[in-house]
Structure 1
Amino acid sequence: MLRSFIAALFSTLLSLFAQADTFIVGAQNIQYYPHYDFSQENDKGLAWAILEAYADRSGHELIYYDMPVKRLQLEMLKGNVDFVYPDNPKWYNQIIPASDKFFSTPLTRALGGTIVNPDDVGKGLDRIQRLSIPLGFTPVNWQSRVDQNLTRLVTVTDTLSALYLLKKNRVDAANLEYSVTQYLALTSPQYGPFTLDPALPHDNVGFMLSTINHPEVILDINNFIRTHGELIESLKQKYNLRDPETILQELRERFYP
């Protein structure tokens, strides 16, 4: 109880005494709603909602620019953007090494994996000879098969294009995020239904904010997330985003009882 009070007091003091600044957030120009879609004028997804809640309490102003994945790190290196979202120290990046960046705690956790037509669940890894993947994404779990010419990557510019190819059977699977595909299948039923096969490669990955010049803001954001658990949880419920492990367990019980 005392620890929680001290953490809350520390957060309040930071907000009171920190100088309010304007920062530029460079974000992937990929439709990954409900996690994020920074091309939208109004509601940009959960990550945006969390960052805006932080900005409201800290006094900072956050301005968002969406741009191609491969440009983000370069623009931060040039000093044109202050932060990059999403980022993760495990992701491949040849422009700025992870050791040179400061990362926030995950704003949200995503279940990336192998998206297939429901009738193809359980048919195994060897069936996946063509895999669609958004341009700029790193197929970590598939790299071995790609190197052995067992799976060919079909790069696309956006998530809907990946699902279109899957719907038309021009690829065998798509390397995408589960909640994103469920949202798109709900709002654009002509592209669905799809599901994630829990027996095929998947990841529970944290979507973080990164910077090279503003570690003090990262610390402040981390403290905000830690001390505003109820707010963060309510935002997750608003965007219907659940813990990846919970989703995986449900999928395993459904398809592999």
Structure 2
Amino acid sequence: MKHSHVCSLFALVCSTSVSAESYVIGVEKLAFAPHYSIDAQGQYQGFARDLFDLFAAKSGVELSYKVLPVEQLLPALLNGEVDFKYPDSDTWAQAQKAGKAVSYSQGVVNYVDGVLVAPQRQGQSIDQISRLAMVNGWTPWGYQERIDAGKIELTYSDDLRQMIRQALKKDTDGAYFNVVVATHYLDNIRARPGALVFDAKLPHNRGSFHLSTIKHSEFLKRFDRFLLDHQSEVAALKSQYRVEANLDADRIGLEQWKLDFLERQKLKEARVQ
């Protein structure tokens, strides 16, 4: 009788183990705070990690993160080495994805990519941009025609730190990058808030980061439902990490003290009314 009980328990444990859902999300080995970064121990962290961990806790699945160099991440998805890729978009790497049935989640977080310039250059026309700093692998949306015509020369860097240094030394007329990430770097890591500012009058690109997959499109529907059903918790994470902070053209890229001042003014006006 005891032997039968032990066997039944063993079968239950095995059955539970087999049925547990486990997935691997391929993520970028990139310093891209506050969205995501890799700590000294090689662990994925930031807004995206907390968001996916929250989803895993709410849905009862197991998620692990495979950190890969950016150029290896898409091939890993296409070759089946990872179950999902983050971030992704249907507008990225279209030639590489041709013929592949890639599915995408709803937008996870919005972003703006654009040019940051020295404050005294803000508001100048695109004709004043002749040298543009870029990080390897990035595409300067809105500038390709002038680049092809030889009117803008691109200067590539290995990472954000090197690119920002070029722009601060005035080796270039501006730096093209994710505006929230670049501003976070200047404010919190380089400790040079306001040294470069986003110029919303220059061409810039708005989009959203998505979770993508080839094999698990049904899983994405569950993730989309999570984003909808837990909007308040997702919004709290976005607020905590400031990943969507001040994406309006008149606010994005502003130093924090200016944003705080604008909020105080807004509250004061509301009390008067």
TM bucket normalised to smaller: 0.7 to 0.9
Q: Is 1:213 paired with 2:215?
A: yes
Match of 1:69 in 2: 70
Decide whether aligned partners of structure 1 residues 243 and 70 sit closer, same or farther in structure 2, where only a CA change above 3 A counts.
same
Name the CA distance, whole Å, in 2 between partners of 1:117 and 1:134.
18
Shift, 1:70, TM fit: 2.2
Give the 3-state SS of the residue equivalent to 1:141 in structure 2: coil
Match of 1:225 in 2: 227
Decide whether aligned partners of structure 1 residues 98 and 160 sit closer, same or farther in structure 2, where only a CA change above 3 A counts.
farther
Larger radius of gyration between Structure 1 and Structure 2: 2
Match of 2:31 in 1: 31
- Counterparts of 1:22-61 in structure 2, within 5 Å, are 22-39=22-39, 41=41, 44-61=45-62
Work out whether residues 136 and 156 of structure 2, in 8 Å CA contact, stay in contact via their aligned partners in 1. yes
Match of 1:120 in 2: 121
Work out whether residues 132 and 172 of structure 2, in 8 Å CA contact, stay in contact via their aligned partners in 1. yes
Give the 3-state SS of the residue equivalent to 1:32 in structure 2: coil
* Structure 1 segments of 4+ aligned residues over 6 angstroms from their partners: none
**RMSD value, Cα:** 2.3
Shift, 1:191, TM fit: 8.1
Work out whether residues 116 and 166 of structure 1, in 8 Å CA contact, stay in contact via their aligned partners in 2. yes
Task: Tell me the number of residue pairs that the alignment of Structure 1 and Structure 2 aligns.
Answer: 235
Shift, 1:39, TM fit: 5.0
Match of 2:242 in 1: 240
Shift, 1:86, TM fit: 0.9
Residue type of the partner of 2:149?
Q
Decide whether aligned partners of structure 1 residues 55 and 98 sit closer, same or farther in structure 2, where only a CA change above 3 A counts.
farther
- Counterparts of 1:1-257 in structure 2, within 5 Å, are 20-39=20-39, 41=41, 44-97=45-98, 100-187=101-188, 188-190=190-192, 193-242=195-244, 245-246=247-248, 248-250=249-251
Name the CA distance, whole Å, in 2 between partners of 1:164 and 1:20.
48
Among all aligned residue pairs of Structure 1 and Structure 2, give the percentage whose two residues are the same amino acid: 27
Cα offsets for 1:98-120 (capped at 9, x unmatched): 86211111211111111111111
- The TM-score with structure 2 as length reference comes to 0.79
Work out whether residues 239 and 245 of structure 2, in 8 Å CA contact, stay in contact via their aligned partners in 1. no
Decide whether aligned partners of structure 1 residues 98 and 52 sit closer, same or farther in structure 2, where only a CA change above 3 A counts.
farther
Give the 3-state SS of the residue equivalent to 1:100 in structure 2: coil
Decide whether aligned partners of structure 1 residues 134 and 39 sit closer, same or farther in structure 2, where only a CA change above 3 A counts.
farther
Work out whether residues 92 and 138 of structure 1, in 8 Å CA contact, stay in contact via their aligned partners in 2. no
Shift, 1:190, TM fit: 4.9
Cα offsets for 1:196-229 (capped at 9, x unmatched): 0000011221011111111111111111001101
Cα offsets for 1:210-249 (capped at 9, x unmatched): 1111111111111100110100111111112335643x13
Give the 3-state SS of the residue equivalent to 1:180 in structure 2: helix
Residue type of the partner of 2:208?
G
Name the CA distance, whole Å, in 2 between partners of 1:178 and 1:45.
17
Shift, 1:171, TM fit: 1.4
Task: Identify unmatched segments of 5+ residues in structure 2.
Answer: 1-18, 259-273
Name the CA distance, whole Å, in 2 between partners of 1:23 and 1:173.
40
Residue type of the partner of 1:239?
Y
Work out whether residues 109 and 244 of structure 1, in 8 Å CA contact, stay in contact via their aligned partners in 2. no
Name the CA distance, whole Å, in 1 between partners of 2:142 and 2:24.
32
Match of 1:15 in 2: none
Give the 3-state SS of the residue equivalent to 1:110 in structure 2: strand
Decide whether aligned partners of structure 1 residues 251 and 236 sit closer, same or farther in structure 2, where only a CA change above 3 A counts.
closer
Query: Which segment is superposed worse, 157-166 or 22-31?
Result: 22-31
Decide whether aligned partners of structure 1 residues 33 and 54 sit closer, same or farther in structure 2, where only a CA change above 3 A counts.
same
- The TM-score with structure 1 as length reference comes to 0.83
Decide whether aligned partners of structure 1 residues 230 and 251 sit closer, same or farther in structure 2, where only a CA change above 3 A counts.
closer
Work out whether residues 105 and 224 of structure 2, in 8 Å CA contact, stay in contact via their aligned partners in 1. yes
Name the CA distance, whole Å, in 2 between partners of 1:40 and 1:192.
28
